[in-house]
A and B are shown apart, each in its own frame.
Chain A
Amino acid sequence: MEIIQLKRTVRQGFVNFWRNGWVSLATVLVMVLTLFVFGGLFFSNVLLTSALEQLEEKVDISVYFKTSAIEDEILALKSSVEKLAEVREAEYISREQALLEFEERHRENSLITQSLEELGENPLGASLNIRAQNPNQYEAISRFLESASFENIIDKINYRQNQLVIERLSQILNSSRAMGLGVTIVLAVIAILVAFNTVRLAIYTSRDEISIMRLVGAANSYIRGPFLVEGVLHGFLASLAAMIIFWPLVAWLGPKAERFFGGPNLLDYYFSNFLWIFLMLLFIGVVLGVISSLIATRRYLNK
């Protein structure tokens, strides 16, 4: 008996969806809009995150060692720096490597090459490029390096010179993230409310039918069932439609955004994560449709 009721509920949901033509279409369209907002937020987050990550990559501090510093001491310092939780990576550039790079960089400049030759020895010290997990951790790393035990080998740390820029950048990164999250939440809430109210309106048009069904002796669960099936249908069709709309959009916007943000090409991203994005939109759409239907029908069933 249970299975027969389930079968009837599903069939009735499909039949109602079809016969309520315009109401169904309007509901799906609003749901498409909602999912489009969610998808749009998702893609913007992908771009924003990659742009911020690239910006973060550009921030590091360099420690310049005295020419007299012994390599073993520097390597010992490097390994102790690497043990810090705040440090993501530390790259050692030896004196020879530094000279090579310097010569390479100034090959065209005969004055510099000449003076280097006249000098006869390598004037450059070794250096260590340090990247933090998070831009606001450079202060702590720099303080660690400035502690007394390394004083005799370290020539200078460029953090103090760049401190202002790094701090400003770190602030911008943090506030961009916070703003992105804030905008995402606000838009998502608006989208959810719009979808919810549309479903409520659609069910409002069926309130008389619900009361008739009750009078005829239909149990509440049996009345509600088809509305939930319709909710699932709305969510499914809307997520499908949203995915289809995103295709030409990311194809058009992808290369432009790639140039502007330097992030991944959205079209490639769309195709390589197609299933994942679709499942996400499907989940949001179905949950939204079902929960809205559940709340909206409850009002007329609990009278």
Chain B
Amino acid sequence: MIYFDHVSKVYSPTSAALEDVSFAVEPQEFVSIVGQSGAGKSTLLKLLLAEEKPSSGKVFFESLDVHKISNGELPRVRRRMGVVFQDYKLLPTKTAYENIAFAMEAAGKTEEEIQQDVPQVLELVGLMDKAWHFPSELSGGELQRVAIARAIVNRPDVVIADEPTGNLDPINTWEIINLLEKINELGTTVILATHDKEVINSLKRRVVTLEKGRVVRDEKRGRYVL
């Protein structure tokens, strides 16, 4: 479903963020990308989202080379990938409800669909009572749950989470990880980038380990080993 084909990314001649990375992600898989800060996890995800272009190699989303997609087509492809970030990236001038609704509006959904689906995902992430709060009025854990709700509301094929628990305390961390597991059980592929050892060890799912921009391990039921 997703395939990194000999991907390298060089920012400056002296340092390569990624070097010859190749691996595939199957549909409905839950894959963790682990590695220390600066190992290239975020770069990898940015390449998948076509936020950045690789210096060499290709990234495929199904049969599409994501870096050959035209500017006009790119939004359509991005709607099939839900994204969650460490810093939440919610729109500060919109309420929780509106942030989630925005993703649906952008996808051209009707008002009826929005009015039906947004409360559903808010219910799923347990934030029905905070629907009309602005991001500045929510805690870190709540913000991340809104971000997850936004990521899944368009029923994407894959959810990409870049250090989603990086700013959260242990309790909130587990809530977010449980949510991602639930999403995966419902049939959505999940790619999780993290450097949280406990999270990885308890998940018991596939782990791809990056070190200095290279894949050094790829295990079906991996543990956090560095």
Contact = CB atoms under 8 A, between A and B. Distances in A.
Interface in B111-156: 111, 150, 154
A215 B51 CA distance: 8
Contacts of B106: 213, 216-219, 222
B209 to A, nearest CB: 26
B107 A19 contact: no
Interface residues of A, number: 21
B110 A4 contact: yes
Given A217-B78, A218-B102, A16 B71 contact: no
Given A4-B111, A216-B150, A218-B75, A19 B103 contact: no
Interface string A207-226: 01100111111111010000
Interface string B83-111: 10000011111000000001101111011
Interface string A1-15: 100110010000001
B217 interface: no
Nearest to B89: A212
B79 interface: yes
A20 interface: yes
A220 B71 contact: yes
Contact of A216 (B51, B76, B83, B110): B83
Contacts of A302: 71
Q: Which of A20, A212, A216 has the most CB of B within 10 A?
A: A216
Contact of B154 (A20, A217, A219): A217
Nearest to A302: B71
A220 B78 CA distance: 13
B79 A19 contact: no
Nearest to A218: B106
Given A1-B108, A4-B111, A212-B91, A217 B71 contact: no
Per CB-CB distance, the 3 closest pairs between chain A and chain B, nearest first, are A218-B106, A217-B79, A217-B78
Contacts of A218: 75, 102, 106
Contacts of A212: 89-91
A250 B106 CA distance: 48
B59 interface: no
Nearest to B88: A212
B24 to A, nearest CB: 23
A203 to B, nearest CB: 13
B193 interface: no
A4 B75 CA distance: 18
Contacts of B180: none
B74 to A, nearest CB: 8
Given A215-B78, A216-B103, A217-B75, A19 B108 contact: no
A115 to B, nearest CB: 92
B99 to A, nearest CB: 9
Nearest to A2: B108
A219 B93 contact: no
B49 A19 contact: no
23 contacts: A1-B108, A4-B108, A4-B111, A5-B108, A209-B91, A209-B93, A212-B90, A212-B91, A213-B106, A214-B78, A215-B83, A215-B89, A216-B83, A216-B106, A217-B76, A217-B77, A217-B78, A217-B103, A218-B75, A218-B106, A219-B106, A222-B106, A302-B71
Interface in A16-63: 16, 19-20
Contact of A213 (B51, B71, B72, B91): B91
A209 B83 contact: no
Contacts of B90: 212
Given A5-B108, A222-B106, A216 B93 contact: no
B192 to A, nearest CB: 17
